[in-house]
Amino acid sequence: MWDRDIELRAESGETGAIKTERRTLNVQHRTSNEKSMEIEAESLERKAKN
C-alpha cells in the first residue's frame, strides 16, 4: 500500500483564475477514490467556467 499525490486544477476561461487542490489518495482504495476525484475534478472545471 502506498499513497499517491494528485493535483486537481481548473482554469476559468473568462477570468483566467486558477483553482488548485492537492489530495493524497491511498492506493488500497484507489478505484473508488479515483472515481470520486474525477467527479470532483469535473465539478471544479464547471465551477471555474462559471
Torsion sign over Cα 43, 44, 45, 46: positive
C-alpha cell at 9: 486544477
Percent of the chain whose pLDDT exceeds 90? 0
Percent of the chain whose pLDDT exceeds 70? 76
How far is C-alpha 11 from the geometric centre of its chain's CA atoms?
A: 12
Round the average pLDDT of the chain to a whole number and report it. Answer: 74
Predicted confidence band of residue 10 (pLDDT cuts 50, 70, 90):
confident
Please tell me the total count of domains within the chain.
1
Q: What is the pLDDT of residues 18-42, one digit of tens each?
A: 777 777 766 665 567 677 878 888 8
- Domain residues for the domain of 10 are 3-49
Give the pLDDT score at 26. Answer: 63
Write out the DSSP string of 1-50: --EEEEEEEEE-TTT--EEEEEEEEEGGGHHHHHHHHHHHHHHHHHHHH-
